[in-house]
Structure 1
Amino acid sequence: MRLSLAWLDKGLSRLLVALTAAIVVCVCWQVLSRYVTQTPSAYSEEIARFLLIWLGILGASYAYRTGAHLGLDLLVNQLSQLWQRRVTVLVHGVVLSFALSVMVLGGIQLMALAIDPGQQSSALQLNMAWVYAVLPISGVVISVYACSALISVLRES
């Protein structure tokens, strides 16, 4: 399992780097085409927007894994070790249920809504289900990380 998580961590971090690089290239092209050639690109703004959506939501998965999300643990630190562990289990359980119910199931329903009428983006004519696909993907990744965290905390007991 550790090897699978290490592979997932490495793949996710590389994907986030690639998305960041793609946004930089896309925005630089937008600036150059607007100010140098005086003919702004119609596609680069929409591509940058979609890349930012994917980067933000997948970045939240990575931030959850690395513990980089903002957390207020002032009250939890005042509790005994047993209660700190219980609160940690509760928090990871809530994250798991949110990821599965809202991100995975809700994301799949959102994709289905976009596929059915054929909702297209304005400039690229891309089916919006491809943009919304990041929700269930990220939900699955967060669920895997939450299960891993739960197993870690429960093994410590």
Structure 2
Amino acid sequence: MKTSKTLFDRVVRFMEVFLIIIFALLVFDVLFQVFSRYVLQGSFTWTEELARFSLIWMSILGAAYLNAKREHLSMDFLYQKFSEKTKKKVSIVIEILVFLFALIVMVIGGSNLVYTTLHLGQLSGTLRIPLGYIYAILPFSGLLIMWFSVYHILKISKNQINV
């Protein structure tokens, strides 16, 4: 299990670095947009589209990252009232539901969206990037979430994660 922990940590660390890079790109892009609008008295149309795509990638990949860290949004008022044994069972059920959501909505649905947009040759308005490449973050993040859910289920089953 040590190698899976090391792999898990490396993937999470890579995601952290990648999310920081995307965020930095987003910040510089928006700053450049403001600079060009107010200092250069002209606006570049591609900056808005790049900011939108960066935000999409950061949000979707950030959701997978939060799932890995088990820091996603949750309401746990009722959960906190459960016994430790019940918490363990509920945590496993929650991870299974997250796995199924990621599989059905993000991987299958996202893959269909990527395939359709690539097949139809849809390009973004300004940057002329195939939209399938932009949407590819959906199935990719879905696969990550599925892997993280399986990892968490195994850890919960072995009492290696606090529930």
TM-score range, shorter chain: over 0.9
Q: Secondary structure at the match of 1:144?
A: helix
Q: Which structure 2 segments of 5+ residues have no match? A: none
How many residues of Structure 1 are paired with residues of Structure 2 in the alignment? 157
| Match in the other structure for 1:38 | 41
Aligned: 1:136 with 2:139: yes
Distance apart, 1:39 and its partner CA:
1.3
Q: Could you tell me which amino acid in structure 2 is paired with residue 46 of structure 1?
A: E
2:14 to 11, 21, 26: 11
Q: Could you tell me which amino acid in structure 2 is paired with residue 37 of structure 1?
A: L
Aligned: 1:26 with 2:20: no
CA distance in 2, matches of 1:91, 1:114: 32
Aligned: 1:52 with 2:19: no
CA distance in 1, matches of 2:129, 2:152: 37
Q: Secondary structure at the match of 2:158?
A: helix
| Match in the other structure for 1:123 | 126
> Which segment is superposed worse, 68-77 or 129-138?
68-77
> Which segment is superposed worse, 63-72 or 88-97?
63-72
Q: Which structure 1 segments of 5+ residues have no match? A: none
TM-score, normalised via structure 1 length: 0.96
CA distance in 1, matches of 2:125, 2:48: 11
| Cα deviation digits, residues 84-141 of structure 1 (max 9, x gap) | 1110000000001111121111111000110111111111111100110000110011
Q: Could you tell me which amino acid in structure 2 is paired with residue 83 of structure 1?
A: T
Work out the percentage of aligned pairs sharing the same amino acid.
32
CA distance in 2, matches of 1:116, 1:59: 28
Q: Could you tell me which amino acid in structure 1 is paired with residue 106 of structure 2?
A: M
Note the aligned Cα RMSD (angstroms): 1.1
